[in-house]
Amino acid sequence: MDLFGDLRRMNKRQLYYQVLNFAMIVSSALMIWKGLIVVTGSESPIVVVLSGSMEPAFHRGDLLFLTNFHDDPIRAGEIVVFKVEGRDIPIVHRVIKVHEKGNGNIKFLTKGDNNEVDDRGLYKEGQNWLEKKDVVGRARGFLPYVGMVTIIMNDYPKFKYALLAVMGAYVLLKRES
């Protein structure tokens, strides 16, 4: 397959059409993502489980669908995705204890199903409880192992760039019949 030969054989109008087609695909994906953010109320409506800490409920590579409606109270037993100050990657764990104060303020403690101890060691120093502001979303559904593609691309960056290059070349060089 001669990629550059195909590019040279295209006239300018075909090349512009293919570039615009590629830009439309990228912008459509971004619009869908932003729409999901609005509909679910979560800054990250889809996440991938990166570790085995939630087994047997969720396995590494499971794709989780999240919502984060602020009116819903957090309850013990729910699976939440939260961010801790100083860490970039959100954590998927189960709420094991909830403390509600009279003013409506809620604090809670989490733990991975497959972990021996609660998550206080994961929280920032001096923090013993999570608050609602720390929650990215609550798990509402999942697709098993679909997120393994994401894990493989993060573990092998060269594979990720090769896959993106092939997909980009395909979109740019594919001609409609």
Q: Could you say which of 27, 42, 71, 119 is catalytic?
A: 119
CB 58 within 8 A of CB 148: no
* Helical ranges in the chain per DSSP H: 3-9, 12-40, 148-155, 157-173
Q: Report the C-alpha gap between 58 and 145 in whole angstroms.
A: 9
Total residues belonging to the chain: 177
65 forms beta bridges with: 46, 141
27 is a catalytic site residue: no
Q: Could you say which of 42, 51, 88, 93 is catalytic?
A: 93
Structure tokens at 140: 């509402």
Structure tokens at 122: 């994961």
28 is a catalytic site residue: no
How deeply is 130 buried, as exposed, middle or buried, from its count of CB atoms within 10 A (0-12, 13-18, 19+)? buried
93 is a catalytic site residue: yes
Q: Could you say which of 6, 27, 44, 53 is catalytic?
A: 53
Contacts of 111 (CB under 8 A, 6+ apart): 93, 94, 96, 117, 118, 119
Active site residues: 53, 93, 119
